[in-house]
Structure 1
C-alpha cells in the first residue's frame, strides 16, 4: 500500500466504516466544514474535514487538532504576526481539550439542556412523580445553605438529584442507626467522601436543593431498611430530576470535579506548511468512546437504565444524555461521543409508548437478554448482590410487563432464558469458579459469577414450564419442566470429539471451570429446551443436568447439538430442577 502516513490513517478509518464497495472511478473529496467562532476564541481555520465521494455520498469525518503555537508580533506592521513552535496552529482550529466540568459556562449550558428537556421532550416525561424519597440530603438554599438529612414522613414533593457513583470499598460518614438522629440535625461536609462532597457542590450549582445518595439515605447497618429502600431504587432514579454520574471516580474518596486532564488524539503527523517547514497535527476519525470507572460497576447499570436524564462528569467534559438526546458534551463544542452502553429500547420502561421493534414480545426479550449480558460484564463489591443490584429494574419491569421475575428469569420466557452459559466468555474473568454460589438455584445465571451469554432467540420451545402459584413462583427454588431428556451414554461420543462427524457435532459448556467439581461420577443428562439458529444452522439447545437426590436434578452446563434427532425416541416427562 503506497501513500503517506495520513493517507494510510484515512484508509484504515474508511475500512472500519465501509459498508459497500467503493467504485474505482469514484474520488474521495475533503471539504472544511464551516466553523463558527466567538470573538476572542480560536481563529477561523480548519475545523472538521468532511470526506465524501464525488458521487455525493458522505463517507468520513476527520477531526484535526494542533497544540497551540506562540503568536509573535512582527516588526513589519501592527497587524503582522507569526506562529512559532507549531506552525499548524495557525491553520488548525481545534486545540487540546482541557477538562472543564464546573465553570459557569458549562453549568449554565447544563441547566439549559435540563430546562429544554423538561419542557419539550416527550420521551423523558416518565419522571413525573415528584414525591421525594424516604430520605434525602437537604442542601438548603443559596441564601441559607445547610447540610442535613431530611426524612420525608409526609410524602412531600420536590425536585431532587440522584447520585450514581463507585463506592470502591467501605466509606466514611455512612448513615447508621446510631448516627440517624445527629445527621437529621446537621452533617459535617468534611466528614463525607470527596465524591459525595463534589456531588453536593454540583447539585447546588445546578440549582437543586435535594440530593439522594445511597450511602447517606439508606441505613447501612439495618437489613430491613436496606431491603425496603433497594426495592424503591427504580422509582428513585426514574423520578429524579437528573442523575449525576461520577464517571471518572474509581472510589468514593476520589471525587470528580477537580481532575485535570487534556484530550489530544494519539495519532500524530508532521505535515508540510504553505510557508515552508512542518507543523504537527493530531487526527481523529471516530467518535470518542468515554472510559468511565462507573461503567464497570454492577449497581450503576440499573441507575443508567432508569434515569430519564443524566449529567455525566466524564474524562474531558460534562456530558448530557436523556431519552431524546444521545450522549453529547453540554457545550456542544467539544468531542463527538459514542455511548459505550448498548442502546436499549427505552419504550419498555414506559407503558404508554409503542414498541419500536413492532413486536412487543420480541422487544422485551431482547431488552432483558441485553441487560443481563451487559450487567454480568460488570463488577460487584459483594458477590451476593448479583440479584440485588438489578432488583430496582426487575420491580419496575414486573409492573410494566405484568409478569413475574424469578431468580433472573421471566415467567413468559422462562424456557428460553434457561439457555445461558459462559460460552465464548473465556478470559473475561481471571478468577476460576469451582463452586456454585448458594444465592440462587442452579438453573439461574445468578448462581454463578462472571459474564454469561444467551444463545440466539429460540425458533421453537420444546420444553414447557409447569404452572405454579404466584407464591411458589416468587419463593420456590425448584422448577418443573415437561421435557425430553436423554442420558449421555445414549449419545454417540463421536459427536463431542469429531468436528467432521456425519452425525452432527455437539458442543458442551460447563458452568464450573472444572466439571468434576459438580458432576463427579454421576451420569450426565441432556434436557432439550428448544431450537435456535446460528449461521443458518438449526441447532438444539439443551441444559446439562445430573440427578442429585430422589428425582431432583441440578444444572451443570449447556450443550448445543447440530442434530436434534438425539431426542427422537425420548418421551416427554416431568423433571424437577433445583
Structure 2
C-alpha cells in the first residue's frame, strides 16, 4: 500500500508553525492542530488502504492515561499536532534554541464535533535518516534505531563521555581514582572474553592478583532460569575455559557487547564469585561499591527478566515498521523524506519501569556505576554523571523523568559530601523507600544488596561516632527517625520468614515508609545497640542485633484494627497500610497507628514507648512483651499520639497525657 494523497500532503512546516502560534496565543478556544481527515469515518475507511492512516487510526481511545474520554463519534474531525522538545517534558534538550521547536513526533487527535475536546490522542514517532538534508535534519530530531547487535551508538556515547565528561572520571568517596589511561585495579576475578590460542579463544575466568586493566560489568536479573555459576568444583575448569555455548543467553550477549566495544574483561556476579563458598561470597559481595564504581561501563540488561532470555532481542528494522512521507520546504519543493512509526518506548518505560528495576540488587548497581547502558526492548539508553541519551535521539540530552530524576539526585549525593548531615539522611531514607519496593530472591540479602551504597554514605556523614547498624544510622535524631518506619502489608510469600531485628525496617520484606525529619525532640535516652555480624563486612548481613534504651513504657488498654484502609498508589502498584486506633480504658482515642503485620493477633497488652515529641504530639513504638523475659520486647507497629483533648473536653485534659502520666522511666530492650 502507498500513502493516500492527503497523507502525502502533510506539511510538517505548517504543523510546527501552528504549534508555535498556539503556544504563543495560548487560547484554549482556538482549534489546535493541522487538519487531516474531515471526519473519523473518513480516517477509518482510508486506513484500509493507506499505511499512514492505518497508523493514525484507532478503534477506540488510544491514550491509556485517559480511559474515560468521550466516545468517538463518526463526524469527529481528525487533526495532527506537533510533539516538540519543548512540549514533551521527557525530551527537553540542551544548548540548542532551535531544538526546542523541532519535532519528535506527531499527536493524532480526534476532536469532538460537539465540544472542544479530544475523543482520543495517539502519539507517533517521526524520524529521518542520518544523511537527510540539513533543514530536514534540524526539523525532525529522531533518527532510525538500528539492529540490536549494532553497538556503534554505544561506542560513540562512550567515546563522547570519556572525552567531554570530567565528572564521569570521578569515583565515589573511598574508591581508588581512575588513572589517566582509564586503567584501574581489576576485581578479584574477571572474565577474559578474548581467551587464548590454547583454549580456542574461548572466554575464561582470569584471577587478577591486583593487576590493572579496564573492564565492564553486567547488571541483570537472574530470574527463575538456570544461571551459569562458578562453584568450587568448577573453578579450576573455568580458569582454563568457559565454553560459550554453556553460558546462559544474557552472558553470551554480554560477551558479544564487551568484545564489540573493544574491552577484554567482563565482570558477572555469578561467574566471578564462587557461589557455593560462603567465605568468598561474603568477601566479594562486600566489594560491590568498588566493582561497579570502577567499571568503565555497566551493561544493564533492562528488558530481560531472566538470565536465559538474552537482552539483544531482534528488532523490526526501522524502515519496515515505518511509513515514508515526502517533506517539502517552505517553497513547496521536495526536501527529502521523513518517516512516521508507532512510538518507541522511552527511557522511563524501558529503564525505570523495566524488569531490571524491580530487583533489589540492581538499585546499587545502577547508582554506583559511573556509566550505564540500558538494553531496552526498543532501543538502547545511556546514563552517566552528566547525560542521559537514547538511541533514537543520539547525543541529545534528555531531562530526567520523575524516578530518573530521583536517581540523579541520589547519585550526586554519593559524590558530594553535604555540609548538613540531615540532607544526607534524607537521601538515605528516600533510597530505602525505593529499595524496599524491589524484590529479593533471598531475604538474607537485604543488607548485602545495599552494602555498597551504605559504605559510600558512611563516607559522607560528618557526625562523630555515627555508625551503620542494621540499615539505620546511630546518630541520635536519625536513629529515632529510623525506628519509626511504617509498614505496608506483607505479601503472602513474605510471611514465611521474618528477619530480626524487629525494630529495623530490614525485618519487613516489602515496602516501608520512613518517618519524616520533622525537627522533633528525641525522648529516649542512653541508647545502646549490640550487633553481631555474620562476617567481616560491617555493612553486610547480621546474626543478631539488640536495641536498648531508657524510656517511658505504658500499656495501651485497647487497640482496634481499622484497616487496611489507607492506600497509596505508587505507579501501578497499590500499597495498603494496616491501621489501628489506640484507646484508653474509657475508650477515649489517644492515637492512631500502623501495624507491622496485617493478620497477626494484637497482643494484649500492647505497650507504647514515646520515641520523640513534636508540635502535634508524640511518635511512639508499639511493642509486645516477649514471653519469659523481664524487659525484652518486639516491635509490632508505630503510632502517633495526639497531644490534644479528643474526644474529651479541654477541662478533662489530654487523654494521651493522662495515659502517660503513670509511666515511669525504665530500661527497655527491643530485639
8 Å Cα contact 1:483/1:575 also seen in 2: yes
Listed as ranges, the matches of 1:159-178 within 5 Å are 159-178=214-233
Matched residue SS, 1:178: helix
Give the TM-score taking structure 1 as reference length.
Answer: 0.73
Kindly provide the CA deviation profile for residues 54-80 of structure 1, in whole angstroms up to 9, marking residues without a partner as x.
xx9x9999742499xxxxxxxxxxxxx
1:477 aligns with 2:567: no
Aligned to 1:332, which of 383, 395, 416?
395
Matched residue SS, 2:213: coil
Structure 1 residue 202 displacement after superposition? 0.8
- 2:639 counterpart residue number: 559
Q: Which moved more, 1:396-405 or 1:311-320?
A: 396-405
Listed as ranges, the matches of 1:67-146 within 5 Å are 93=140, 98=145, 100-103=147-150, 105-116=152-163, 121=168, 128=177, 130-140=184-194, 145-146=201-202
- 2:667 counterpart residue number: 574
Aligned to 2:470, which of 383, 407, 411?
407
- 1:508 counterpart residue number: 593
Give the TM-score taking structure 2 as reference length.
Answer: 0.63
- 2:385 counterpart residue number: 323
Matched residue SS, 2:545: coil
Matched residue SS, 1:340: helix
Structure 1 residue 316 displacement after superposition? 2.2
Matched residue SS, 2:667: strand
Structure 1 residue 332 displacement after superposition? 3.1
8 Å Cα contact 1:263/1:316 also seen in 2: no
Residue 531 and residue 322 in structure 1: after superposition, are their counterparts in 2 closer, same or farther (change >3 A)?
farther
- 1:375 counterpart residue number: 435
Residue 283 and residue 197 in structure 1: after superposition, are their counterparts in 2 closer, same or farther (change >3 A)?
closer
1:190 aligns with 2:245: yes
8 Å Cα contact 1:436/1:448 also seen in 2: no
CA distance in 1, matches of 2:559, 2:203: 69
Structure 1 residue 131 displacement after superposition? 0.8
Structure 1 residue 258 displacement after superposition? 2.5
8 Å Cα contact 1:127/1:240 also seen in 2: no
CA distance in 1, matches of 2:560, 2:512: 28
Structure 1 residue 442 displacement after superposition? 1.0
Q: What is the root-mean-square deviation of aligned Cα atoms in Å? A: 4.6
Residue 502 and residue 539 in structure 1: after superposition, are their counterparts in 2 closer, same or farther (change >3 A)?
farther
8 Å Cα contact 1:163/1:245 also seen in 2: yes
Matched residue SS, 2:290: helix
Matched residue SS, 2:458: helix
8 Å Cα contact 1:66/1:96 also seen in 2: no
Matched residue SS, 1:480: strand
Structure 1 residue 493 displacement after superposition? 12
CA distance in 2, matches of 1:570, 1:493: 24
- 2:67 counterpart residue number: none
Flag structure 2 segments of 5+ consecutive residues without an equivalent.
Answer: 1-23, 35-80, 89-96, 109-123, 129-135, 179-183, 320-327, 333-338, 563-579, 644-655
CA distance in 2, matches of 1:484, 1:66: 62
Matched residue SS, 1:482: strand
CA distance in 2, matches of 1:51, 1:400: 38
- 2:426 counterpart residue number: 366
Q: Which moved more, 1:489-498 or 1:182-191?
A: 489-498
8 Å Cα contact 2:373/2:382 also seen in 1: yes
Residue 109 and residue 63 in structure 1: after superposition, are their counterparts in 2 closer, same or farther (change >3 A)?
same
- 2:361 counterpart residue number: 299
- 1:48 counterpart residue number: 84
Matched residue SS, 1:527: strand
8 Å Cα contact 2:228/2:248 also seen in 1: yes
- 2:622 counterpart residue number: 544
Kindly provide the CA deviation profile for residues 520-553 of structure 1, in whole angstroms up to 9, marking residues without a partner as x.
4x31111111146xxxx72421110011122111
8 Å Cα contact 1:256/1:313 also seen in 2: yes
Residue 319 and residue 539 in structure 1: after superposition, are their counterparts in 2 closer, same or farther (change >3 A)?
farther
CA distance in 1, matches of 2:632, 2:582: 29
Aligned to 1:451, which of 487, 495, 511?
511
CA distance in 2, matches of 1:286, 1:62: 16
Structure 1 residue 23 displacement after superposition? 11
Q: Which moved more, 1:117-126 or 1:341-350?
A: 117-126
8 Å Cα contact 1:96/1:263 also seen in 2: no
CA distance in 2, matches of 1:567, 1:60: 64
8 Å Cα contact 1:99/1:315 also seen in 2: no
- 2:14 counterpart residue number: none
Structure 1 residue 282 displacement after superposition? 7.0
CA distance in 2, matches of 1:298, 1:65: 37
8 Å Cα contact 2:300/2:375 also seen in 1: yes
Structure 1 residue 483 displacement after superposition? 1.9
Structure 1 residue 51 displacement after superposition? 5.6
Matched residue SS, 2:557: helix
Matched residue SS, 2:158: helix
Kindly provide the CA deviation profile for residues 81-102 of structure 1, in whole angstroms up to 9, marking residues without a partner as x.
xxxxx9x999995789656444
Residue 227 and residue 105 in structure 1: after superposition, are their counterparts in 2 closer, same or farther (change >3 A)?
closer
Matched residue SS, 2:239: helix
Aligned to 1:203, which of 236, 240, 258?
258
Kindly provide the CA deviation profile for residues 103-130 of structure 1, in whole angstroms up to 9, marking residues without a partner as x.
2531332332342356564656766251
- 1:225 counterpart residue number: 280
Flag structure 1 segments of 5+ consecutive residues without an equivalent.
Answer: 1-21, 33-44, 68-85, 265-272
8 Å Cα contact 2:293/2:368 also seen in 1: yes
